[in-house]
Chain A
């Protein structure tokens, strides 16, 4: 490609200096063949931990990390956290981003790391099934609930606009649609009725922000009547003084967020101590303060009052587990969500 911006009336002709171009290429090849210098760069300091996490719990970790450093095993441990969308973080770790502990929004993201031999296959064989926090999908409404939204069915009222993040951009947003679908299945016992519900629901969705956090920003910025979100995000928004209320529907999905130590962690003992702290009574209380439901039973009953238990609770396993759900709902061609979106587009006269 020639430079675009030459403004002389005569156009450039290719300079006949192929030899010097070859010199350049040769340098490049030589540079590419020399051994990488970075292999010797990893420092011997064992008390550094790289935490690669999804974006939502950033504020919680800002409190949890210093608290861990106050404990005996955490003394003198430096933690370098990195936050981003769960899927991107997973890809980054697979591509070589240094990580000792990963905290992701979906179990299926950890499964990708297991496939890449970065996390042991038995990572979730512990008392917590590999999880560190729980939450539920809730309906966030404007202060005072002016449209009187109480249930999943209310989202289909004619004048209700729904905001939910794009399930393809933000893995965590898959919880929202699965909650809506699963609740309908629980209620009617019919997959067809749940599919029809999902189609109606997506017809009420007028904006799909790229992540749960941005969806909250969009909603707080005045768009829509209901935001489908995670309970912890709703609590964070309220703690931040936003004029929102939230409704825990009678039937909703239990959101479970995994954590895992990598096989090649620089100091596996310290990494495990960090994870153990996050699941300790002290750590779990911190999580509860940040709006997450504890996975430790003792703390869960201690703070139970702030976390209403829905009548009907279901988990991802009730829907078949992540590998089934990813294929059944979120395949770009045959997935139920993709199909429903095409049907909606057809009805609107596009595509």
Chain B
């Protein structure tokens, strides 16, 4: 994801902010674009959900089948996010600190899950972990399959947010810590990890948001059995297909709220961390 790396190489923020004041037209155009592309569609979704709230929107959410689907969606998304935080950081570490043959190829491959149409990812995983698995692993149509598919599509986020911070770390700090006898885990825990936290949390929030809404990669792989392997995104598609767009909007709103809570929560944590670090 080029944008993530680019974001790191942006000018210092105080300079950016000054340039905003100098170019109100640019800011106006940006806000216009943001409104058209993101804010208005989101407002329309909220409006649609609110419009049908008393005509079954609440019923749609409190339906046991919906709740089961939401529970599974949030559960798998949290699990996948936690795994990503550990494995993504480790991957970024290896890519930044180790030199080995094929490193640049591996680095380029990290983004592939984002480039692949997710339905293709789903089909590929189905071929790999399905009844005709060449690996002899048949987990398709189970919750484990859902987790595997979500791990696949969310993998790049933590790697790509943590990687540039690792590159930018001041080696002298580490060297100083080493001279004081810190090594291995202590060094990572007390010197490196604190500097990674903000980026790590950002990546985790992105991965979580993506996992909540994923449809393509899981629709064929999940089994879609209500109360067992049915995810919210697939359930919502069923509501649309039934013509119940109001309840689809209501359930989507729940996912949207969960995403906002996750993003705001991360932001709060990061601010707290930053003020602590300052």
Contacts and interface: CB of A to CB of B under 8 A. Distances in A.
Contacts of B227: 341-342, 344-345, 348, 350-351
A350 B68 contact: yes
Given A2-B267, A12-B13, A20-B24, A207 B238 contact: no
B241 A19 contact: no
Given A4-B205, A9-B277, A24-B35, A169 B132 contact: no
| Max chain B Cβ within 10 angstroms of own Cβ: one of A170, A207, A342 | A207
| Max chain B Cβ within 10 angstroms of own Cβ: one of A3, A4, A12, A342 | A4
B217 to A, nearest CB: 13
A90 B243 contact: yes
Interface in B222-274: 223-228, 234-235, 237-245, 247, 260, 263-264, 266-267, 270-271, 274
A87 interface: yes
Main secondary structure of the interface of B (DSSP, over half): helix
A206 B141 contact: yes
Contact of B278 (A9, A24, A166, A351): A9
A interface, size bucket: 35 or more
Contacts of B31: 20-21, 24-25
A221 B141 CA distance: 12
A28 B59 contact: no
Interface stretch (B4-12, B83-91, B109-117, B183-191): B4-12
A62 interface: no
A25 B35 contact: yes
26 contacts: A5-B202, A7-B164, A9-B277, A10-B13, A11-B271, A15-B17, A17-B20, A20-B27, A23-B28, A25-B32, A88-B240, A166-B224, A171-B241, A171-B242, A206-B223, A210-B224, A214-B220, A217-B220, A218-B220, A221-B126, A221-B127, A221-B130, A332-B244, A342-B65, A342-B227, A350-B68
Given A24-B28, A169-B237, A207-B223, 6 more contacts: A5-B8, A24-B32, A25-B32, A91-B243, A112-B243, A345-B226
